Amino acid sequence: MQAPTETPDDHEPAEREPAEPAPIEPVPIGDVVARGHEGPERSTARRAALIAFVLSAAWLAPRLAPGVTFEDAGELVAVADSFGVPHPPGYPLWTLLAGFATEIAGWFSIEPARACVGFSWLTAAGACGALGLLLARRGVVWPVAGAVGALLALTPTFASTATVVEVYGLAAFVQMLFVAAALDPAPSARLSFALFGLGLAAHPGTLFLAPLLFVGVDSARALGRRVVSSPWILPGLLLYLWVPLRSHFDPAVDWGDPQTTARFLDHVLRSQYAVGGARTSADLLELARLTFEQTIGQSLVFMGVGMVAVLAALRRSRAVRWLVLASVWGAALVFWFVRYPLGELDAFTRWSAEVRLAPSFQPLFLALFAAAVVALLHALERSRVVLVAPLLMAIALVLPDGYTTVVDGLDDVRASRGAALWANAALDECPPDALLVVGRIGATDVLGFPLLHAQLVEGRRPDVTVVDRQLLLAPWYREQLARRAPDLSQWLAELGGTLPSTSDQGRLHRTVGTALGALVGGSRHVVWTDPPGPQARGGRAFVPGGVLWFADAMPLEPGAEPSANWIAHEPASPWRELHRRLAIERDGARAEGLERSGRAQDARSLRDAMAERYGPPDPRSLDQP
């Protein structure tokens, strides 16, 4: 049989459907960061991180403080300038990195305060970049991932700590890197534990993120692998050894003198804050209430997106999705219009939540935000169009919080020069070799830390000895003050022997006041930042000066102008009302003195000028709890 004739067409290949590209395997974030893995994931993740970093940095840059503000800024700048030991728990990672940043800035004639503000700014923008990196790795298109990361800079707590000298910018950066590593599609356990350890060295609030170390553990074998990787946490924890080692060399700032094991543990565990008495059950209950309220109030972004993520998983119709969107918007508006006005009526709540409490819970907010967006992506992963949902949700929930903060003025620190002006005026007004007592209101951080910066960093009035009335209750402070002011050593020893061993705060402070009264009329002038109580007066009259109160001294020539002109340069500080009331109290005493001396017209002129400068009383109290 003859074989069939072959034609050229018989060898033409049949038409085939184009092959689908092979799926791209996820690359661990550790490879992207550490080994420089080449691939599309690396480039898109970097783009998202860069967009988030640039946008957030551009938003925050014009809002930066010009230098030292009230609260912790003065102490932290002095710590960075001298590689000292800050207040508990010591913040070793911030101390070392900010110290090196200050040294480098000095090469370019940038003063330490501005260098530390810039350090907060860059690290906070880095946290936004890390969030953008995570979202891009989880499948968000990179422009949206970058935009969502940048929106973190609009949240109240984050923005208010990113524009001043604070430890929270660096803490947020390291914490967000840890969240990105833990929630990566292919996480590296060693990298996660290492970043968690560094996060603890940045701020102990990182403990809130500990559950993320075990994300994806679904078997005993996987748990064993995580446990094997746990020693990578040690490098970060070992940084805390810097605290006792540096304290041994008696740096200019040496809070707690934590050289011994007991004092080191008290310092790291923040026990040194319990000066003069332990917390009662009522205090702890109030703290729990504030914690819950602050979590609700500050985390509208995170909790709202989380709610959307959960409900979106149940999407059955378009109507359900729109109902979810309306619910989130409604919840945001309710919290905006109800929580903030009502919260302002509670002095303790406002002071504690916005100044003290919120930053400590920042890692919890970061984790909730990142996890909620990732969960939302999983719920909507089939529809490419709705990948912009995280951006829309974040905008919907960030704007109410951000607007409230701008109205409140708590993160508008662009013109906040009041702390530096006040510290300079106070020190300049002191007589030679004076004892300047930081009094009953705003002790240590609010009034004492700006003085610390002026003396140790700027070298202003080293002859003045600043005495912190509150810290006189602490043995380490009395020992440290005795070394630095030997003429007070006997007085400090007697004070330590008379302090009652009781948690009665009133009795303790009366004892300290009586001891301070013994200094009045001694070899050194005693001046106060606010009028002392009857125990501390020592039977002598105190008269108001320009900024301070003087014992047994003639007041400054009483004029018709208020003395606290620096208040006009402190528009944003949450302590502005406290200082304004101190100024009104002091200038009011000046006006009374004018009336007693027969100068009624000058007294009226002074009171009119006070009303114009200080304005009406603020109903929102910011006194310390």
DSSP-H helix ranges across 9-69: 29-30, 40-60
Residue carrying structure tokens 């009366």:
510
- Residue pair 86/79 in contact by the 8 Å Cβ criterion: yes
CA distance 449 to 445: 5
Cα gap 200→92, rounded to integer Å: 10
Strand partners, 465: 435
Residue spans per domain, the chain: 29-273+281-408, 418-614
Residues whose CB is less than 8 angstroms from the CB of residue 101 and which lie 6 or more positions away in sequence, other chains included = 80, 115, 116, 118, 119
Give the position of tokens 């609009």: 154
Q: Which two tokens stand for residue 257?
A: 């003198």
Q: Which residue has the higher pLDDT, 302 or 267?
A: 267
Among 100-114, 149-163, 427-441, which is the least confidently predicted range?
Answer: 149-163
Structure tokens at 130: 């890390």
Q: At residue 367, does pLDDT exceed 80?
A: no
pLDDT category of residue 608 using cuts at 50, 70 and 90: confident
DSSP 177-210: HHHHHHTSSS--HHHHHHHHHHHHHH-GGGGGGG
- Element at 221 (helix H, strand E): helix 220-229
Confidence (pLDDT) at 267: 87
Q: How far is CA 296 from CA 236, 353, 355, 393, 405, in A?
A: 31, 11, 16, 17, 15
Point out the least confidently predicted range of 201-215, 492-506, 511-525: 492-506
Assigned token pair, 8: 């050229």
Residue 260 zone, left/alpha/beta (φ > 0; ψ -120 to 50; rest): beta
Please state, rounded to an integer, the average pLDDT across all residues of the chain.
74
Helical (H) or strand (E) element with 528: strand 526-528
For residues 449 and 84, give the distance between their C-alpha atoms in angstroms, rounded to a whole number: 14
pLDDT range class, residue 171, cuts 50, 70, 90: very high
Tokens describing residue 561 = 């102008």
The two structure tokens encoding residue 72: 């912790």
pLDDT at 245 over 50: yes
Cβ neighbours of residue 225 under 8 Å, at least 6 residues apart? 189
Cβ neighbourhood burial of 16 (10 Å; 0-12, 13-18, 19+): exposed
pLDDT band at 223 (very low <50, low <70, confident <90, very high): confident
- Residues written for the chain: 625
Region 544-567 average pLDDT: 71
**Predicted pLDDT at 113:** 95
Reduced to 3 states (helix: H, G, I; strand: E, B; else coil), residue 173 is helix
3-state helix, strand, coil in the chain (%, to 5): 65, 5, 30
User: Which residue in 125, 136, 135, 142 sits closest to 53, CA to CA?
Assistant: 125
pLDDT exceeds 60 at position 84: yes
Contact 188, 227 (CB under 8 A): no
Question: Span 7-13, mean pLDDT?
Answer: 46
Q: Are 527 and 430 in contact (CB under 8 A)?
A: yes
* Cα→Cα distances 81→70, 124, 339, 449, Å: 18, 21, 40, 14
Asked if 493 and 510 count as a contact pair (C-beta separation under 8 A), the reply is no
pLDDT of residue 340: 37
Tens digit of pLDDT for each residue in 431-457? 999 999 987 555 556 788 999 999 999
Q: Do strands 526-528 and 542-544 pair parallel, antiparallel, or not at all (unpaired)?
A: unpaired
At 152, is the pLDDT very low, low, confident or very high (cuts 50, 70, 90)? confident
pLDDT of residue 244: 95
